[in-house]
Amino acid sequence: MQKWLLPDGVVMGLNTVSDFKWVREPEEIKRVDRQRAVTLEFTPPKGMPLQKAINGINQKVSELKLANAILPGVEIKLAGSASKLTEVKEALLETEAR
């Protein structure tokens, strides 16, 4: 079982906050814009608004970067519904500004 060390020192099993499904991928290095890439898929629990899930992911990424668990130069990008939601929000804010 994978474990997660929280900032307050509590060790939590990842299975308490998520379900993992191991899948086989081709044995090759995936690249995006000539950079090595890893894809992680996330589906929020039923009833959780997408924005809340995005905020949680962004907060966790920020914490990991501050703790140097994500090295400088590693790029994190949200895609799929998350990026579409961001595009729609930006378009709405742009329209309101006019």
pLDDT digits (tens, 9 = 90+) for 23-78: 776 677 778 888 888 777 778 888 888 888 888 888 888 888 888 888 888 888 88
Global pTM value: 0.55
Residue 82 has pLDDT above 80, yes or no: no
Q: Residues 65, 73: contact at Cβ < 8 Å?
A: no
Instruction: Give 63-92 as a 3 state SS string.
Output: HHHHCCCCCCCCCCCCCCHHHHHHHHHHHH
**Number of domains the chain contains:** 1
Q: Which residue has the tokens 């814009």?
A: 33
AA letter at 59: Q
Confidence of residue 2 (pLDDT cuts 50, 70, 90): low
Question: What is the domain extent for residue 45?
Answer: 3-97
